Amino acid sequence: MDEKMNITIVYIDDDEKMKNDAFLDDIETEVDGIEYFEKPSEGLTYIKDHIDQNIVVILDWKFNSSSLQGEDILKDIAEISTLVPVIVFTGARIDAVEASKMFKGHAFSCVAKDATTEELVEAIKNAYDRIQNDIRSVMEKWILKQGDEKRSKPYMRSGDKVYTLNDILEAIRKQDEFGKETTRRILSLATELFTNNMREK
Amino acid sequence: MENDNTSILHFKFDVSTFRLLGRELITDRITALFELVKNCYDANAENVQLTFENLNPLSPSSRIIIEDDGLGMTFEDIRDKWMVIGTSSKRRSRTSPSPYNRVVAGKKGVGRFAVDKLGAKLIMKTKKKDSLVWNCLETDWTKYSEEEERQLSLDFEEHPEQQKLFTDIDNRYWTELGEKGIQGTRLEISSLNDVWLEKDVIRAYKELSKIVKPTLDIQYPFNIQFHVPEYKEYDGKVVESIVLAKATLSYILKYRYDEAEEKYYQEYLDEEKGALSVKEKPAEIFGPIGFTIYYYDQEGKKNFTKEERIDGIKVYRDGIIATPFAEYKSSRDEQKDLFGIDKRRWSGFFEKLSTRDILGWVDIKDELNPKIKDSTNRQDFVDNKEWTVLKEFVISQIHQIELYLKHKKETKKKENAEKLKKTDKEIDEIKQKIKRIKSNTILASPEVESELDDLASRLETIKENVSASSKDYEQMEKDIKQQENIMFSLVSLQSYAGQISHILRISIGVIKRSAEFVAKWVPLGKNQDKSVKHAHRVFDEMNNLSKAMNFMLSYAEDDSTFEYFSVKEAITELFEERYKYLFEEEGIHTEYVVEDDFELLYNMKAFQDMFGNLIDNSVKALRNILDKRIRCTAYKEDDNFVVLFSDNGPGIPEEKRDRIFDVFYTTTADLGGAGLGLYIVRTRLKSINGTISLEPNEFKPTGATFKIVIPLIH
Amino acid sequence: MKLNAVVIADDVAENIGELCVMLKNSTNQMLEQFQQARNDGVEVDHFTYCHDTINKHNLSEKVSPVNANGFLCCWYGHGSDTSFNMNGERIVTTTDNHYVFSNAVIYTFSCMNGGTLADVLIDNNVRAFVGYSGNANCPYGIDNVTCDIAMSFVSSLLSGKNINNAVEDLKLSYEDAMFNEELEPFQRSWFQENRDGLVIKGNGGLTINDLLVV
């Protein structure tokens, strides 16, 4: 059996019976925790409050009575952080239109509701890998490790702008221009280190 | 050898040309008038005053005056357009100058000759807004015909130079002072050709009402007003759109502001017992609105041309069309049915009105109805509560009209049925009379008797025919009803089919994963409790699936199982036979009272299944209750059959109440609740125009009460 | 023989004032050492200007005395593609004071001067220009590291290497920082950006001796 993944699953689905679905029972022991939300707004609040933890979201796509649909919730999650992998879990027909909505909205992957537990767990594992290995997550983690005090001090000057590590964290999560640029810079450094362009002294 | 004696020749117009022009194009004076008014429309006029003076008998003071407030003409316009034969300036642009952008109504360049059809003399005065003078032109067709006369008496061969041409006749032009800011054209026609009787004026009025369109654009109206001192009924009358005038039914609902109470009241239509009346209630959350609605039956529709379409309800905000996105689409189908009028036709196809039957508009104001907003993509209104409720209001109003029409139709049917019966009776009475005549020895004679016999036998035939017709009529009604039911069943199926794949995928997923869990952990001897839970889950979900399947299959069954059955018997059978043992086993005390009865045309088993669903739900809900009770009462109330179904279980929590009829919703999941029951019940009821709703619970302190309402058929 | 050197440092530059002062002081120190180390009697006349002594209007008069012949000029402060700033003012732009630096070898630690401004300067007889086409990043808290790196050019140039080689040394300094595991990843990535943004315009083959005047 694989070692535990330190992630919290946040499962948002308005169909109450899914609360007891077998796949949740199955992965219970392999993750840090599972949080189930029938109301999307509550799920979003949880994600916002726990953004510094590793979260993998499993998101239903069609909501019956809520005015928020999967598409909207996906957008809201991306606004908190694009680094949270969202697995869309849907019983609806996945056609090109719906699929494009999912991926435009930065969904990580999509699983049909008639999937086996194995398939679901695989999707979750992939999401976990992404959290572990994506350079942005790595950057995020490094910053989170620096401690509150250091993170709120000025860290970097560029032109006439000053950035703290928290600013950089947010930028990386939002993947705005500066966030993208910083990511590119780190990748560039990593590439050079990797190919060891260092000249002999 | 070349001939260097060349010259150029031109066509000339003989003076009698004026007869050729126009007169052939415009065959009568009503058409002439029509064309002239169309010109006013094309000149962006908003008001046209049409005056008829001294029409009968004719005199030098007989006049027709057409006066408009349109764009007017400059001297150059007169010289280069009005006075030039065959100009197509109107045709170069098919719409009038903005912002009116009216689709041009008038025919190619014939306006000026139309005048001749009405009278011999024309004085035209026209002015553009920023001009200081009125441009005036006098055309006297008598001069042309005089010249014509004169030429007839001439000897052309002798005096060719005295021949005047059409183009040589003078038309006097002058200017008169005017005010800046005023614009328009005034045509004063005198030396009228014909007497105008009242019926001629009426005809003119009718024709002109075809120009006035129902308000396509309230901001740029077009009003024609008649001034006819001699025919009082039409004096001062404003021409009303024929389209609106010919509506079979028309209603204009307004709102008012109550100063004392400081609130708005809204007029609305209410159908009650076959009468449609306008009532008043406090304005709804979307704010007070004006609502105009016209209904056209087959007859009424005949007055429409292809260009003018009956096409549903539009929305105007502060007088300007607010639904441009719903307008002017090339294909009918592309036009948006904002209110979903046509969508409802899926339930009760034969009774519902479509966008081809009604025309109307909702008048909203920015300050009174702020929540009705355009969405950012400008293709719809923002989908908020206010818009939803407004749509419901509009639909409910249309529905009132539908109910009214339905009632009328049924009354008619009843009357026809009555008539047939009466005819039957009358025939019998006639037969009796014949018998009496025959037995009256005074009148009897062999000839008379044989005539009477003949009559009697013919009557017999007629009576048989009437009987047969009656029966046919009844049968036809039944057939129609059945067709309707089938139609709806099919459509229910259609919409259900859409849901089914969703249901399937979810159910199958649940079953798969739960089975997977059991298969994985039981051999390992771990997760005992959970495995049991999931085994149950598999079982329950399979039940769900099979219910869903059966529901679908029931529609695929042979439709001849639609029959008339007694509702009382159906319900009684459920309680006294089918569920009797279950109730005993579960220790449920049942009470059912079916006060009235009626015959329902439906599939009896499907009907019973509905109640079966409710019973199943209640049985589950009562699991943990000590003193279990189920109560079912049924009775007639007005035109409906009402069933109240209650249990004294825990009831349904507040926050779940609007979701209990959703597909797959269940509060008893842990008890193996199917989650399909109420959805099926509601859908089945819809197909017979019935409803189910949750009512305040009869049993105290807790319980659930459902109210089923089925409309009666005669 | 004499070396004229002009150091212009924006000591009140927003956010980077202290670093500029550090750069200025280190530069002056190096110039002192240069004078002492040269045993052929070369003097160094170095003129240092900060916000209180130089502005847009007097810059020309301050620098003109030395621009008839070669001189070394160092700029430390905020910059853009078309200007170098002092105390929030654009004291050298593509149209202002751009002609004042004839015969100079300009070395900057400022953002983006290596673009259009450098081209205009070269057109106006600047002999060589070393600066950055993009950002000149200076992470907070490690100014001394940044300063040492920046000074490696000056040191190499003063030791006799030509401009091209001195810039190579500068690049190596940046690379040392990039590979220095005691620095933080972001910081190292910004030094990489600096290195990749270095530009040399004009005559890269010049040495310090070419700037000596009689």
Of C16, C138, C189, nearest to A185 by CB-CB distance is C189
φ/ψ region of A106 (left if φ > 0, alpha if ψ in -120 to 50, else beta) reads left
Closest CA to C148 of C16, C25, C55: C25
Q: CB atoms < 10 A from the CB of B697, how many?
A: 18
Contacts of B251 (CB under 8 A, 6+ apart): B269, B278, B291, B292, B293
Q: What percent of chain B has pLDDT over 70?
A: 78
pLDDT: is B213 or B575 the higher one?
A: B575
Query: Are residues B208 and B69 located together in one domain of the fold?
Result: yes
User: Do residues B43 and B76 both lie within one domain?
Assistant: yes
Question: Same domain for B237 and B253?
Answer: no
- Whether the Cβ atoms of residue B354 and residue B313 lie closer than 8 Å to each other: no
Looking at CA atoms only, how far is residue B587 from chain A in angstroms? Answer: 29
The answer to whether residue B106 is domain-embedded is yes
Give the pLDDT confidence score for residue B81 in this predicted structure.
78
Q: Which range of residues forms the domain containing residue B227?
A: 17-242
Which range has the top average pLDDT, B134-148, B653-667, C146-160?
C146-160
Tokens representing A138 are 């790595």
CA dist B464 and B424 (Å) reads 9
**Contacts C16 to A, Cβ<8 Å:** 157
Give the chains touching B; criterion: ≥3 Cβ pairs < 8 Å. Answer: A
**Shortest CA distance to B223 belongs to which of B69, B22, B432?**
B69
pLDDT at residue B366, rounded to an integer: 83
Query: Which of A15, A112, A117 is nearest residue B664 as measured by Cβ atoms?
Result: A15
pLDDT band at B611; cut points 50, 70, 90: confident
B433 falls within a domain: no
| Residue B214: per-residue pLDDT | 55
How many domains does one find in chain C?
Answer: 1
Residues B379-418: tens digit of each pLDDT: 678 878 888 889 989 988 998 998 898 888 888 878 877 8
Chain A: closest CA distance from residue B378 (Å): 20
Least CB–CB distance from A158: residue in C137, C178, C179: C137
Residue span of the structural domain in which C36 resides: 2-211
pLDDT above 50: residue B326 = no
pLDDT greater at residue B656 or residue A201 = B656
pLDDT, tens digit only, all 201 positions of chain A: 467 888 999 999 988 889 999 999 999 989 999 999 988 999 999 999 999 889 999 999 888 765 678 888 998 999 899 999 999 998 877 778 788 888 888 899 999 888 999 999 999 999 999 888 889 998 999 999 998 899 999 999 877 789 999 999 999 999 899 999 999 999 999 988 888 755 444
Strand B640-647 to B628-637 pairing: antiparallel
* pLDDT tens per residue across span B683-701: 778 777 788 988 888 888 8
Contacts (Cβ under 8 Å, ≥6 apart) of B675: A17, B544, B663, B664, B665, B666, B669
Phi-psi bin for B629: left (phi > 0), alpha (psi -120 to 50), beta? beta
pLDDT band at B213 (very low <50, low <70, confident <90, very high): low
Which residues on chain B are in Cβ contact (under 8 Å) with A115? 509, 512-513
Contact check, Cβ <8 Å, A16/B666? yes
> pLDDT tens-digit profile of A133-173?
889 998 999 999 998 899 999 999 877 789 999 999 999 99
Measured between beta carbons, the chain C residues lying within 8 angstroms of A191 are: none
Write the CATH number for C16.
3.40.50.1460
Contacts of C193 in chain A (CB under 8 A): 185, 188
Q: Which of A144, A179, A152, A193 is nearest to C191 (CA)?
A: A193
pLDDT score recorded for residue A77: 93
Arithmetic mean of pLDDT over chain B: 79
How do the pLDDT tens digits run along chain C, 214 residues long?
889 999 999 999 888 999 999 999 999 999 999 988 887 788 888 899 999 999 999 999 999 999 899 999 999 999 999 999 999 899 999 998 999 999 999 999 999 999 999 999 999 999 999 999 999 999 999 999 999 999 999 999 999 999 999 999 999 999 999 999 999 999 999 999 999 999 999 999 999 999 888 8
CATH code for residues A5-133: 3.40.50.2300
Please compute the mean of the pLDDT values over residues B312-341 and round it to a whole number: 64
Distance (Å, whole) CA B570 – CA B580: 14
In the predicted structure, residue B331 carries a pLDDT above the cut 60? no
Q: Are residues B237 and B264 in the same domain?
A: no
B279 lies in the same domain as B153: no
Q: Is C40 exposed, middle or buried (0-12, 13-18, 19+ CB in 10 A)?
A: exposed
Are the beta carbons of B692 and B679 closer than 8 angstroms? Answer: no
Q: How far apart are CA B693 and CA B695, in angstroms?
A: 6
Structure tokens at B356: 């081809």
Provide the strand spans (E) within B415-566: 563-566
* pLDDT of residue B653 exceeding 90: no
Domain ranges of chain A: 5-133, 136-195
Cβ within 8 Å of A, C 132-191: 135, 137-141, 172, 175, 178-179, 185-186, 188-190
* B–C touching, 3+ CB–CB pairs within 8 Å: no
Q: What is the pLDDT of residue B608?
A: 82
Question: Is residue C121 within 8 Å of residue C101, measured between CB atoms?
Answer: yes
Is the Cβ–Cβ distance between B345 and B352 less than 8 Å? Answer: yes
What is the torsional sign of CA B27, B28, B30, B33? positive
The answer to whether the CB of B286 falls within 8 A of the CB of B387 is yes
Rounded to the nearest 10 degrees, what angle do helices B528-556 and B446-521 cross at?
160
Residue type for position B64: I
| Chains interfacing with A (3 or more CB pairs < 8 Å) | B, C
Per-residue pLDDT, B11: 78
Do B235 and B312 share a domain, yes or no? no
Residue A56, beta-bridge partner list = A9
**CB–CB contacts below 8 A, A to C:** 58
Please state the ipTM of this predicted complex: 0.83
pTM: 0.53
**Interchain CB contact of C78 with A (< 8 Å):** yes
Contacting residues of A for B502, CB less than 8 Å apart: 62, 91-93
CB neighbour list of residue B11: distance below 8 Å, 6 or more residues apart? none
pLDDT in tens, B457-505: 888 888 888 778 778 777 877 777 777 666 666 656 666 666 667 777 8
- Per-residue model confidence (pLDDT) at position B142: 81
Do the chains contact at A198 and C179, CB–CB below 8 Å? yes
Helix (H) or strand (E) holding A132: helix A117-133
Q: How far is B518 from chain A (nearest CA, A)?
A: 9
Q: What is the mean pLDDT of residues B91-95?
A: 59
**Domain co-membership, B223 together with B295:** no
Looking at the structure of chain B, the number of domains it has is 3
Which of residues B242, B274, B297 is at a domain's end?
B242
Q: Using CA atoms of C49, C53, C58, C64 in order, give the dihedral in degrees to the nearest 10.
A: -30
Q: What is the domain-level CATH number for residue B646? A: 3.30.565.10
Least CB–CB distance from B534: residue in A22, A65, A91: A22
* Mean pLDDT in residue range B241-249: 71
- Contact of C173 with C148, CB cutoff 8 Å: yes
Of A20, A65, A114, the CB nearest to B509: A114
Report how far residue B90's alpha carbon sits from residue B31's, in angstroms, rounded to the nearest whole number: 19
Where is average pLDDT lowest: A65-79, B50-64, B435-449? Answer: B435-449
pLDDT above 90 covers what percent of chain A?
Answer: 55
B502, B516, B658 member nearest A22 (Cβ): B516
CA-closest candidate to residue C48, choices C79, C98, C97, C86: C86
Task: Report the residue count for chain B.
Answer: 714
All residues of chain A having their beta carbon less than 8 Å from the beta carbon of residue C186 are 155-156, 168, 182, 185-186
Which pLDDT does position B621 carry in this prediction?
Answer: 85
